[in-house]
Structure formats: structure tokens, C-alpha cells
Amino acid sequence: MEIIGRNPLFLRCLEDAKLAAASNANILIEGETGTGKELIAKIIHKFSARRDKELVVINCAAMPDALLESELFGHEKGAFTDAHTEKIGLVELANNGTLVLDEIGEMSLTLQPKILRFLENGEYRKVGGTKMKHSNVRIVSSTNRGLLQAVTEGKFRRDLFYRLKVIHLSVPPLRYRKDDIPELAKYFINQYQDKYLSSEATEELRTYDWPGNVRELKNVIEQACVFTPSDQRAIQVDHLRLKNSVYTAYKEEVPDPVYNIENVEADLIKKALQKTLFNRVEAAALLGISQKTLYTKIKKYNIL
């Protein structure tokens, strides 16, 4: 598992993930699509006492309620049409290991109480079953949407939110760690061909806002390797085809402020305050700074 990046925000996230791994507490990872939330989840498992057991990942947005419940808890033979055999659920498969609930924010309000019950005591019942079973798993959840906002909108249970968010990690978007782009690009290039970025192409990557984050960068590099003539080693600006990116329309509709450290800092403070419902004590803890520092920066950036 190769970790690419030296940006302070990203390194702080990695360090927090390794520290959190030592506990058995549930962890909520938030971050935009393509930032590497699953990578952080794998790091947590790797540095935990459960590293020799199963790491199981399930995408909560990829299937309807009935199928998701069956995948998680299993089902008895004859529980529903086409249930011709008994099925072992992922919570059983991941016993004594780690279960990653990817895109937990997309889970319906119908299924959320069943997840909450399992989190409270590790007990569950297979679909169509009557016998209570038990599994000891470490739950790591991830989401690309603000769960606290979903709670305030009535789309996510508050009790489940706090049960999942014993420890909270936030993966920074690529536009906040542009100093990592050359190294990331080099890593992706080496996966495909023996080429390198021209200085102009490198600068083009630095000035782009990357709404699709690291995943988009990987796709752009793969595409550039294809469009760079076989007799050329240097990837040029034209080979990047950034204007043809599927994310370009989004970028134009929702432009980011000019990238500089003060904009980044102010934005992080605003998000921390929003996530904690403007509780300054919790926001300071979330940011890893003192309350006094937070008050000073709120005044400096005229946030409130």
C-alpha cells in the first residue's frame, strides 16, 4: 500500500488514521468523491490489532435496501424468492476484523435502525431468521456528503450519526494539496508508460481545480499517456485534454475561490463550524487548534 503525499493537511489525516487505528472505536471518514477515503480505511485496518483478520468493504449506495440488508446480515434459506440456500452476511465474514460501510450517507432511513442496533451490541438477525447472532467487528464508515447536514435535514438518524462518529477523519480535497500533484502524477505515469511531464504540463495540472480529486488526476494521466505519441517521452499540455474532462462542466458552474493559504484556512474553519453546528469548542477540537486560536482566526476572516 503506497502512500503518496507530503502535504501537511494530508499527512495530518494519515497520522490521525494511524493513531485512531489503535482503538476499537467506530470511525467516520468524510471527504469528497475521489479523495481516497477507502485508502484511509485500509490504513486504519493495517495499523489496527485486527490486521490479520478480514477487511470487508461494502458500498451502501450500490444496492436496494433488501439486498443491502441481506449482504450485511445474511439470509436463511427460503427467506425470499430465489433464496435457495443460506447466505453468510458480511458482518459474520468480518468477525474480529473491519467492516467498511462506504457511502453510509446513502443508506435509507428504513435500514438505519438495524445498523444502529448492531452497533449498540453487535447483535443481528439474518433476513428470514429468528435466532440472534453476534459479531465483533470494527466499523469504519465513509461518506462524500456532510452527514451532520443530512441529520439536520432529517435524512439521517442523529443517534446513528453519533454512534458512527466516535472518531472523525476528514480527507482533504486535491485542490487543498496541490503540492502533491507532481508526485502523484509521476506515480500514475509509472503505472502506464516510461514518460514524464513537461514543465508546462506540470503547471497546467497545478492550476486546475480537480473537482474529481485524485481519481480524476489518475484518469487524466492515463488518458495523457494514451494521447502522447509513442516516439515522445514528454507529456505536453495538449496531451492532458483537461478541457475534455467529465468534471469540466462542474468546475465551470461552481468555481472555487483563488487558491491561497488564507482561503484554504478560512474554508476549513467554516466547514468545521458548520459540522459542529457552530459549537466553537468542538470546532477547535476538530481542527486540532486551541479555542483561542480559533477565536482569533474567526475574527481575522470575519466568519461570524
**Checking phi first, is residue 85 left (phi over 0); if not, alpha (psi -120 to 50) or beta?**
beta
Within this chain, do residues 287 and 207 fall inside the same structural domain, yes or no?
Answer: no
Cell numbers placing 282: 468542538
Would 94 be classed as within a structural domain?
yes
Indicate which CATH number applies to the domain containing 208.
1.10.8.60
Distance CA 276, CA 290 (A): 15
Q: Quick one: pLDDT at residue 261?
A: 57
**What is the CATH number for 296?**
1.10.10
Q: Is residue 3 part of a domain?
A: no
Pair 265, 240 in one domain: no
* Residues present in the chain in total: 304
Residue 30 forms part of a structural domain: yes
Residue where a domain stops, chosen among 143, 170, 197:
170
**pLDDT recorded at residue 79:** 73
| Chain centre distance of CA 117 | 24
Q: Assess whether 192 and 79 both reside in one domain.
A: no
1 belongs to a structural domain: no
Whether residues 220 and 178 fall in one domain: yes
User: What pLDDT shows up at residue 287?
Assistant: 75
Q: Are residues 246 and 271 in the same domain?
A: no
CATH code of the domain covering residue 138: 3.40.50.300
Number of domains in the chain: 3
What per-residue confidence (pLDDT) applies to 260?
A: 53
Q: Is 14:43 a contact under the CB 8 Å cutoff? A: yes
Asked if 126 and 180 sit in the same domain, the reply is no
The pLDDT value recorded for residue 30 is 94
Chosen domain end from 147, 170, 193: 170
Please list the rounded mean pLDDT of every run of 10 residues in the chain (304 residues). 87 95 95 94 96 95 87 85 84 96 94 94 89 95 90 93 95 95 96 93 94 94 94 94 62 43 76 80 76 83 79
Q: Is the same domain home to 86 and 141?
A: yes
Q: Are residues 196 and 136 in the same domain?
A: no
**Residue-range definition of the domain harbouring residue 227:** 174-253
Are 156 and 60 in contact by the 8 Å Cβ rule? The answer is no
Mode of pairing for the β-strands spanning 132-134 and 55-59: unpaired
d(CA 245, CA 55): 33
3-state secondary structure the chain: CCCCCCCHHHHHHHHHHHHHHCCCCCEEEECCCCCCHHHHHHHHHHCCCCCCCCEEEEECCCCCHHHHHHHHHEECCCCCCCCCCCEECHHHHCCCCEEEEECHHHCCCCCHHHHHHHHHHCEEECECCCCEEECCCEEEEEECCCHHHHHHCCCCCHHHHHHHCCEEEECCCHHHCHHHHHHHHHHHHHHHCCCEECHHHHHHHHHCCCCCHHHHHHHHHHHHHHHCCCCCCEECHHHHCHHHCCCHHHHHHCCCCCCCHHHHHHHHHHHHHHHCCCCHHHHHHHHCCCHHHHHHHHHHCCCC
* 29 shares a domain with 90: yes
